[in-house]
Amino acid sequence: MYVHVKSTPVPIPPSGQYSPKRLHHNGRLKLQQFGPIVRQKLPGNTNLLYLFDPEDIEAMYAKEGRYPSRRSHLALQKYRLDRPHMFSTGGILPTNGKHWWELRRRAQKSMNKVSAVASRLPQVDEVCKEFAELISKVRREGSGRVGHFLDLQKRLFLELTITSLLEVRLGKLDDHSDEAEQLAHAVDETNCVVLPTDNGLQLWKYVRTPMYRRLVSAQDTIYRIAFKYVETKDDELRHARQKKKAEGESEPDTKHVTSILESFFESGLEDKDIVGLVSDTLMGGIDTGAYTMAYVLYSLANNQDKQDLLALEARRLLDASDGKVTTKVLSEARYLKAVMKETYRLHPISIGVGRVIQEDTVIRGFRIPKETVVVTQNQVISRLPEHFPDPQRFLPERWLHKAPPAHPFVVLPFGHGPRSCIGRRMAEQNLQTIILQVGSCSSVRMAKYILTERKHMVSRCG
């Protein structure tokens, strides 16, 4: 394995300093040792280029073109392309080029539609209130602590994703339904195999390796459940149309607010595409939400003064709205949004964004050949003092001024441009609602808790 700096191959010292499980640490080391642009060769002749300067990241984005390309979820793509009776594409995550855009353009019409996402806010709020009540109920006697909190958060975001997208409830949060457990396990399994199958030797392309078999089993489960809900919704919509026709109402009601799933059907997507999108959404919505929430609560736990300020805002807004989180409440929750942004800066759940360069490009005076895989290092640079004074401190107040506190390409939790996170609107609504509901709860307090490298919050994959 070699790292190239300024075109000179420099072998990484064989001291075990780089670990596939400590990507943030690897990124920091590379910046310190080799500077703001680093090339690493992976097995299989793939070049990885790490960018640490926001100007260079901006330059990369400026060249990403109409169909920004990413190299990820390759084994998932194989799973789907091998099953044309179930899927018409590899899905939005791994597909590139025009085929990606055909899927994305239709899907984002629904997922980015303000009214479609907001139409689910009352149900999302109900789930969040239930969660706040549940954690008060399940506290251990004596210590008042809640055990297995991350699992509870994953269960919450599974329910929130299903509620936001499929308009159904899997069940109460403390009811361990088979379907909820199977889905949560299948999503965990998929997330565990993505990185090793993308970056390893890729034997799975030729033989069914144990990793690939885990993916197949997990994806079979996700497909089965997604298919069931899509089929049910399809039937429901067909019956509604037939009923309207029978009643003589031929024109569609244009004032009717359609939900995300409903607008998937209206957008001309095939049923197979919709099942694929629902599966991708289940995979995209659970761990991302649960870990972000965990980091928000962790940051508040260790900054009691900020926790108090958030609680004050949450109680003031919820007292005026009968305890309900509404679109008005969300639009007025200024401190909450600053808390979220500061958490994305200190604890983004993604180290940065990956792109495959589409044409030969010059960055920082170096010619970067077409097909190079670039990984931006936002997680590392958003903690550098040249971008944020006192960078290790959790200071939501940085974000309350009119002017942005740093270069706009330093903190990019949802990516940027046409290939940025398609679920951002839904994710932000879900996260803001749960933080307001938990933050306003007078019986809940986040107690000081320090994470160490050993006690980290990232899933340990078996």
- Contact segment (CB under 6 A) with ligand HEM among 2-10, 134-142, 278-286, 302-310 equals 278-286
- Nearer CB in complex with ligand HEM: 90/289: 289
- Closest to 424 measured CA to CA, from 288, 256, 230, 241: 288
421 is in an annotated binding site: yes
Number of residues that bind ligand HEM (CB under 6 A): 26
Contact between 27 and ligand HEM per CB under 6 A: no
| Contact (CB, 8 A) for 3 and 39 | yes
Interface with ligand HEM includes 120 (CB under 6 A)? no
CA 205, CA 81: separation in Å to the nearest integer?
Answer: 12
Q: Which C-beta is closer to ligand HEM: that of 76 or that of 427? A: 427
- Give CA–CA dist 107/91, Å, rounded: 11
> What sign has the CA pseudo-torsion 328, 329, 334, 339?
negative
Nearer to ligand HEM, 94 or 209 (CB): 94
Number of helices (H), then strands (E), in the chain: 16, 8
Residues 6+ apart with CB under 8 A from 55: 407, 409
Q: Which 386-405 residues touch ligand HEM, going by CB under 6 A?
A: none
> Is the four-CA dihedral 416, 219, 108, 152 of positive or negative sign?
negative
Q: What is the DSSP letter of 170?
A: -
Select the residue interacting with ligand HEM from 280, 298, 314, 409 (CB under 6 A): 280
The answer to whether 295 and 457 are in contact (CB under 8 A) is yes
Alpha-carbon gap, residue 394 to 302, rounded angstroms:
9
Residue 356, beta-bridge partner list: 373
Q: Report, in Å, the least distance between residue 137 CB and ligand HEM.
A: 26
User: What x/- string results for residues 426 through 445 when contact with ligand HEM is judged by CB under 6 A?
Assistant: xx------------------
Region of 121-129, 238-246, 276-284, 380-388 interacting with ligand HEM (CB under 6 A) = 276-284
User: How much is the CA Rg of the chain, to the nearest whole Å?
Assistant: 23
Quick count: other Cβ atoms within 10 Å of Cβ 239?
10
* CB neighbourhood size of 171 (10 A): 15
101 binds ligand HEM (CB under 6 A): no
The stretch near ligand HEM (CB under 6 A) out of 81-89, 128-136, 233-241, 345-353 is 345-353
Give the C-alpha separation, 429 to 62, whole Å. Answer: 29
| Binding of ligand HEM by 339 (CB under 6 A) | no
- Binding to ligand HEM, residues 132-171 (CB under 6 A): 161
The three-state secondary structure class of 60 is: helix
Q: Is 345 in the site for ligand HEM (CB under 6 A)?
A: no
Q: Which is nearer to ligand HEM, 133 or 167 (CB)?
A: 167
CB-wise, 427 or 444, nearer to ligand HEM? Answer: 427
Question: Quick check: 54 binds ligand HEM (CB under 6 A)?
Answer: no
Q: Does 419 bind ligand HEM (CB under 6 A)?
A: yes
| Shorter beta-carbon distance to ligand HEM: residue 413 or 439 | 413
Cβ count within 10 A of residue 150: 15
> Does position 198 bind ligand HEM by CB under 6 A?
no
Question: Does the footprint of ligand HEM cover residue 51 (CB under 6 A)?
Answer: no
Binding of ligand HEM by 90 (CB under 6 A): no
Transcribe 176-235 into DSSP letters. Answer: --HHHHHHHHHHHHHHHHHHHHHHS--GGGTS--HHHHHHHHHHHHHHHHHHHHHHHHHH
Sequence ranges of the binding site for heme: 421
Give residues in contact with ligand HEM (CB under 6 A). Answer: 70, 92-93, 104, 161, 280-281, 284-285, 288-289, 292, 349-350, 353, 413-416, 419-423, 426-427
